[in-house]
Amino acid sequence: MKNMNVHLSKDLISKYGIKNFPVRKGDMVRIVRGDAEKEEKLNIVGKEGKVIKIMTDKGKVVVENINIAKSDGKMKPRKLDPSALVLTKIVLEDKKRKERLTKLASLRNKVVEEEPEPEPEQAVKESAEEKKEEKVPELTDGGNETEEGEEDKDE
């Protein structure tokens, strides 16, 4: 098997206009089919997790924190069928993957909006410091004005 396509969530279908897309390591998925046990510990339906491994030769996907107990009591990762999963978040770090998604979306008259990249930590710290500096003079000026206003009322 070359690609293992997984259905997209309703939000992503409306955003991109496609119903399935190949799953990759790092994508967020929700389990929609499988064992619905009475015990909450064993119930995996409805759980979300990050894809940690794709087994193309077996046609299975391993999701983070979805385990199965072995007979000796140890836990091992559970291999899930891609048809039991729904993509909830797509990782678009790969340029080819992003191009493919935008091409498919454009065929369906959808525009893929680029998510803003997070600012580097230094820029965030500098902006936070600037905000603090701006607030400090305002507070002292405001405090002086209220004191004068109170004195005027007393007189």
Percent of the chain with pLDDT over 70: 67
pLDDT the model gives residue 43: 78
pLDDT the model gives residue 82: 92
What three-state secondary structure class fits 143? helix
pLDDT-derived band at 26, boundaries 50, 70, 90: very high
Q: pLDDT tens across 34-43, in order? A: 776 656 666 7
Q: How many CB atoms lie within 10 A of CB 61?
A: 26
Ramachandran category for residue 48: left, alpha or beta (phi over 0 → left; psi -120 to 50 → alpha): beta
Instruction: Return the closest-CA partner of residue 52 out of 83, 12, 79.
Output: 79
Q: How far apart are the first and last CA of the chain?
A: 88
User: Is pLDDT at 73 greater than 70 in this prediction?
Assistant: yes
* CA dihedral (80, 29, 85, 26) positive or negative: negative
In the chain, the amino acid numbered 22 is P
This prediction's pTM: 0.65
User: Is pLDDT at 112 greater than 80 in this prediction?
Assistant: no
pLDDT the model gives residue 77: 92
d(CA 100, CA 109): 14
Q: How many CB atoms lie within 10 A of CB 64?
A: 15
